[in-house]
Amino acid sequence: MLQDESSRPHHIPLQELKEITDNFSIERELGQGGFSVVYKGMLWNGETIAVKRIASSLIPGLQKQFEREVYHLMVLKHPNIVRCVGYCYETHNACLEYNGKYVFAETAERLLCLEYMPKGSLNKYLSDESSGLDWSTRYNIIEGVCYGLCHLHEQMDLPILHLDLKPSNILLDDGMLPKISDFGLSRLLDQKRTICTSSRDGTFGYMAPEFLNGGTITPKSDIFSLGVIILEVVTGHRDYPDVTRTTSDEFIELVRKFFLKF
């Protein structure tokens, strides 16, 4: 399933995913998100995949986010977008304690199987002190993210807005090729080219002002996030100006000093 890139993601039984992750052991953890944990899965032939396990809780919106991510990854095939090779959605009844009594309740296991990205996320390569990335590598990362975003916006029958573009959602392979991941907040865009919502899900600092303040979503929402990422990759400085950290004038001065090096 890893080598056949023309195949679509298919259902993988929960038991198989338990086996390849050593029953979701702590030693296999690759990272954690707000409502998920990613594990390293070792296949019988020695290949590796990433298994993303969504929290089995009743938090509103988690089910819809899982469905969106599966639906969109089913149709996305691009060198700069992480490839989904499978998914798992299984429910079972368990006897649980509730208000001092035991009741049977339905619990769900929701997992995604993704191509393994050995370099991890872009998040840990943004600081000059820790990354040491040369200009060519930085440029290639920026270019790859742009290609991936262009595919989402311009090369699909219905454009897909990512809406949570940030360094931790950009993964890197052995050659530092970037791939956009985590489509839990993504939305399809209809012919109106604008979505109005009361939701404010996203990551502060990467959310466009018109979305944060007015709930208006357009392709420009992702472009704003992309601009912040480009500034961070170019400068090696992570504090995009907001009300709690670096002011706009201070950030402009940081960018100016960085470009004076070249």
Q: Which residue's entry shows tokens 């865009």?
A: 189
What's the full length of the chain, in residues? 262
To the question of whether residue 52 is assigned a binding role by annotation, the answer is: yes
Q: What is the token pair recorded at 47?
A: 């290949």
Coil, helix or strand at residue 10: strand
* Residue (of 21, 189, 162, 13) closest to 82 by Cα position: 162
Coil, helix or strand at residue 241: coil
- φ/ψ of 145, rounded to 5, equals -65, -40
Q: Name the catalytic one among 128, 134, 164, 201.
A: 164
Q: How many Cβ atoms are within 10 Å of 41's Cβ, its own excluded? A: 25
Is 164 an active-site residue? yes
Coil, helix or strand at residue 25: coil
Residues with catalytic roles:
164
Binding-site positions? 52
Binding-site positions for ATP? 52
